[in-house]
Amino acid sequence: MADITRRSTGIAGLDLALEGGFPPGTRIIISGSPLSGLELLAQQFWQAEEGTGAYLMLDAVPLEGMTDARGMDAAALIAAMQGERIVVDSLSTLIAAWGVDAATEFVLEDTRAIIEGGANIVYLLYTDLHTPHEEARMMRAADIFITLRHQVHGNEFERTLAIEKLKDANVPQRVIPYHIIARGLELSTTSRVV
């Protein structure tokens, strides 16, 4: 699939790191703590183009425009996956409710027709909730795996984003600093020369 048009992530700095955005027809897992901003990243992707996707909220009360997916089975989730930009918030909830085998089957097989149709599906995976085996299974199922990390140094937060897996492309060799601002995540678009 040479010369494909990539789908913007809704974040200029992330689009730059991904050479234009997400390739159509990919499974993307964004991993991080609940305070890392992964939900904001997912919302920015979902809202990057008006009316072109579905945000399936399994973990909390959905915001305006989102689909209340709490308690949905696999068939209902698939039926709700409309458009090119789909977010499942969260994969962690599916693993807890269904087990890792069923969640992996959902990501790889149950949604195959949606992926083959060119849609992107973003799954949120919360860190420190799963066994290393469960996390490894999810990493292997993803076409793109992005990790958000944050640490406290003295009285400052240091937040970095790492693209750790990128199907059929070179993985960037650096982490990207980011900030959480009122409208979402903002990534650095410059590199420091040392």
Q: Is residue 116 part of a domain?
A: yes
**Tokens representing 113?**
């027709």
CATH number at residue 97: 3.40.50.300
Neighbours of 65 (CB within 10 A): 13
Q: Are 108 and 140 within 8 A, CB to CB?
A: no
Look at residue 192 and tell me whether its pLDDT is greater than 60.
Answer: no
Distance of CA 21 to the CA centre of its chain: 12
Q: Which of 67, 120, 116, 114 minimizes the C-alpha distance to 89?
A: 67
Note down the domain range covering 39. 21-144+162-185
- Average pLDDT for the chain: 92
Number of domains within the chain: 1
pTM above 0.85, yes or no: yes
116-175 pLDDT tens trace = 999 999 999 999 999 999 999 999 999 999 999 998 888 888 999 999 999 988 898 899
Mean pLDDT of 58-83: 95
Q: Is residue 9 part of a domain?
A: no
Q: Is residue 137 part of a domain?
A: yes
Q: Is residue 14 part of a domain?
A: no
Q: Is residue 132 part of a domain?
A: yes
Neighbours of 94 (CB within 10 A): 23
Q: Is residue 16 part of a domain?
A: no
Q: Which of 38, 40, 42, 3 minimizes the C-alpha distance to 23?
A: 3
**Tokens 């860190």 sit at which residue?**
127
